[in-house]
Amino acid sequence: MTKVIGLTGGIGSGKSTIANFFEEFGVPVYIADDEAKKVMQSKEIVSAIKTAFGEGIFENTILNRTKLAEIVFNDPDKLAQLNAIVHPAVKKDFNAWLAEKKEYNFVVYEAAILFESGRYKHCDTIITVTAPEEIRIDRVIKRDNTTREQVLSRMKMQWDDEKRISGSDFVINNTNLKKAREEVVEILKILNIKQKQS
């Protein structure tokens, strides 16, 4: 049976880089945030978002993701409301994707809020990606062309590293790409050994 590796980490930790390393070694990767964006374009989800957040976050029937982000990242209740709409649809999409990957020993489910959403319960192994806070802030400012205040606001909505690490099987410190890649190799070796033993 295909095992699910949950890959998580705070904003700017470099989860996507680590996910790319897994792909490089032939492990299929499901990026939950990317798939959520696709799911949010479906008529059913658009309708639910309109009902919950109003027409004001749409421009010419297209969802303004920036406006929506400004609302949910400043209001935990609104974020929970959005997650309640989007997460079940992403779960359904992932299960369909996973059903097509039966020939693989492992797949990676990459999600920023793996713990917060409860999805960690459906993973066989969990990896947390870490990096010093200032490096993370700098990465996000450059990547999203945003402000320090906005990054810190989003960080507050997520678990801190200590909390994530306490629930993880492996931790990858993503400050040196060569070392991070080597850690992925080591983790895969360990998981493959476990797979053969079980």
Q: Which residue ranges form the domains of the chain, and what is each CATH number?
A: 1-28+106-193 (3.40.50.300), 36-100 (3.40.50.300)
Residue with structure tokens 């306490």? 166
- CA dihedral over 54, 55, 59, 63, signed as positive or negative: positive
Distance CA 47, CA 53 (A): 10
The binding site for ATP consists of 12-17
2 DSSP assignment: P
How does pLDDT run across 51-109, given as a tens digit for each residue? 999 989 998 888 998 899 889 888 889 988 999 999 999 999 999 999 999 999 999 99
Could you write out the DSSP letters of every residue in 26-93?
T--EEEHHHHHHHHTTSHHHHHHHHHHH-GGGEETTEE-HHHHHHHHTT-HHHHHHHHHHHHHHHHHH
Q: What is the pTM of this model?
A: 0.90
Distance CA 50, CA 48 (A): 5
Residue 127 tokens read as: 């990896």
Contact 103, 49 (CB under 8 A): no
pLDDT of residue 75: 87
CB atoms within 10 A of CB 153: 15
The binding site consists of 12-17
198 band by pLDDT with thresholds 50, 70 and 90: low
